Amino acid sequence: MKERTCHERLDFQAYVDQQLSGPEQTAVERHVRECPACARELERTRLFFTDLQVACAVGRGDLPTPAEIDGVMARLARSHPVPDSAATATAPWAAWMTGWGFEGWRAATVGAALGLLLLMVWAVRSPGPLPRPATPPAVSTPAPADLFAFTLSAPPSQALGVVGKPGAKMATRGHLQSGTVYQLPSVGKLYVTFKGENRLELSKQARFEVAGTRVRLHTGDVWCRLQRTGRDIVVETPTGTVTPLGTRFYVEATPRATRVTLEEGQVILRTRTTTVSLKRPGTLFMLTDGTITTEFETRDVAVQIPNSHLPDPRTLERPPQADSLQDGY
Amino acid sequence: MSRNGAPPDAREQEAELIRQVRAGRRESFRPLVERHWPRIKGLARRILRGPDLVEDICQETFLRAFEKLASFDNTREFAPWLAKIAVNLIGEHFRKGGQRLQLVPLDERVFPRAVPEPGEEVIGRMLLDDCLERLPVAYRIIFVLRHGLMFSYEEIAQVLDEPLGTVKVSLFRAREILKVFWAAVPTELAREGVK
């Protein structure tokens, strides 16, 4: 399908892949504003990259199970037992004892006696309980079962942002805090688990927050695969809410509409005027005027270009092929 | 800890964990495995066939990483270093079968008649997955590294031991070929009114 008639040689791949310098980027943007053929080509390239990213993305099937992690650690323990030298390495106190002429069992006895003496002195002087041993710095906090835990899949230069705190840079893993509005980076996906077994994937630069069991999706999209324990999750968008009843579904929020694609199970869509139960796989749109419809022609594309420049709407409207993430075998 | 007393970011956490493992705290390796397992598995399962083989390569990658951790330069990114181990293991697997990981020049013939013609029951993304499957192994790795694991071109060159220019040109050419197939199908289906 060679539609391009413009003879300008622009590297759209490099543009979309963010490999161009500032002036080169500006040149591309200036040209596509004037040239419908190149604007279409740029949009196609952008869609192609999106599809490539989905086709290659780290998917929910790649998340490790505790058994897999334990398997690695068990193999490590077998193949690399703690060396004896580590246990019997000469500690500074042992060297000090040797210096005083105490070795072997004598050193141990003297050490124990000194330790006991110090403990008694401390107990007499201190009315409080015994101090807890200092814990090593926590690298990952244990996950309470009812929190949303997340893992960001993005280039090292990208981070999950907090709206209203421009400098804030979140770690790639952690837990979502209730009431904080998060912003996904321009490239990357956020994998979220709820109660351990319910999976959500946020992408398209999603801006969202969690509140209790509610996920407020301001913009962007979220793909949900819920088990029985995840049925209390409700996805809210600017145009309505989606309540699952044990299910697999996809929600995309844009300023003008919310698209809900059901793959399995059942969801209830609710706007300020309408409530619809979607019981079969399919797509519905919740619009800003409260209507719920099967037809919606989106104009919310990544680059604002004149409508006449857009490629075939079906190309833009293609629903996500979430199953393509499921297995690579 | 971070230099300015702020909460340590992911990279500094990782560096700290690596220091702890080197100091003999084996259990500190667990968070590293948890953090990097999805990426290594994501890479392996797009290249290798069979969940057992994928699991083996993942486990072997982390075992080898543990053994070689002393040689890791802690000022650099851990993920590309780990990916390089995984790619070497995948390469060893293919070498046993007489194949080599090489960025051979591609042309459209890489997708012979096996790719369905537009109009058959195929939709765009399935076709793209199918096309990726048919690419030579080195190309599949490069696509996953770039579009799945989001590595930079420099990191990909480092992982594959290829010159940066070769990586860029190969990726560009392969994308152009894939795009032709990707672009053709949805439009044809739309014209025919196929849902």
Domains and CATH numbers, chain B: 1-100 (1.10.1740.10), 102-195 (1.10.10.10)
Average confidence (pLDDT) over B5-12: 58
pLDDT of residue A123: 64
Residues A155 and A250 in one domain: yes
The CA-to-CA distance between both ends of chain B, in Å, stands at: 55
Picking from A44, A52, A78 by the largest number of B CB atoms within 10 A of its own CB, the best residue to mutate is A52
Q: At what angle do helices A22-34 and A36-56 cross, to 10 degrees?
A: 120
Quick: pLDDT tens for B51-76. Answer: 888 999 999 999 999 999 999 998 88
Asked whether the beta carbons of residue A76 and residue B29 sit closer than 8 angstroms, the reply is yes
Helix (H, G, I), strand (E, B) or coil at A37: helix
Interface subset of B 39-98, CB within 8 angstroms of A: 39, 41-42, 45-46, 49-51, 54-55, 58-59, 62-63, 66-67, 77, 79
pLDDT of residue A136: 39
What is the nearest CA distance from A62 to chain B, expressed in angstroms?
Answer: 5
Among the partner residues B49, B144, B146, nearest to A329 by beta-carbon distance:
B49
As a whole number of angstroms, the distance between CA A59 and CA A74 comes to: 25
Is A117 part of a structural domain of the chain? no
User: Which CATH number goes with the domain that contains A172?
Assistant: 2.60.120.1440
Residues A174 and A279 in one domain: yes
A269 in Cβ contact with A275 (< 8 Å): yes
pLDDT of residue B19: 92
What is the nearest CA distance from A125 to chain B, expressed in angstroms?
Answer: 34
As a whole number of angstroms, the distance between CA B3 and CA A291 comes to: 54
Range of the domain at A180: 141-296
Residue pLDDT tens, chain A, 329 long: 445 578 777 888 888 888 888 898 899 988 988 888 888 888 888 888 877 877 777 776 788 888 888 899 999 898 877 654 444 444 445 445 544 555 555 656 666 777 777 777 766 665 444 444 443 343 443 344 457 888 887 777 778 889 888 877 788 888 898 888 999 888 778 888 887 778 888 888 899 999 888 899 999 888 888 877 777 788 999 988 888 876 788 888 888 888 888 777 788 888 887 777 777 777 788 888 888 887 654 333 233 333 343 333 333 333 333 333 233 22
Is A242 part of a structural domain of the chain? yes
Which has more pLDDT, A177 or B102? A177
Is A255 part of a structural domain of the chain? yes
pLDDT of residue A266: 80
Is A251 part of a structural domain of the chain? yes
Residue B138: CB atoms within 10 A of its CB come to 23
The pair of structure tokens assigned to A172 is 């790639």
Is A123 part of a structural domain of the chain? no
Asked whether the beta carbons of residue A69 and residue B175 sit closer than 8 angstroms, the reply is no
Asked whether the beta carbons of residue A318 and residue B124 sit closer than 8 angstroms, the reply is yes
Number of folded domains that form chain A: 2
Report residue A83 CA to chain centroid gap: 38
Picking from A1, A50, A62, A84 by the largest number of B CB atoms within 10 A of its own CB, the best residue to mutate is A62
pLDDT of residue A107: 58
As a whole number of angstroms, the distance between CA A175 and CA A156 comes to: 19
pLDDT of residue B61: 96
Measured CA to CA in angstroms, residue B158 lies from A210, A304, B152 at distances of 39, 37, 10
Is A306 part of a structural domain of the chain? no
- Residues in chain B, total: 195
Is A216 part of a structural domain of the chain? yes
Residue B165: CB atoms within 10 A of its CB come to 10
Asked whether the beta carbons of residue B38 and residue A315 sit closer than 8 angstroms, the reply is no
Quick: pLDDT tens for B175-194. Answer: 887 877 666 554 443 334 33
Report residue A89 CA to chain centroid gap: 43
- Residues in chain A, total: 329
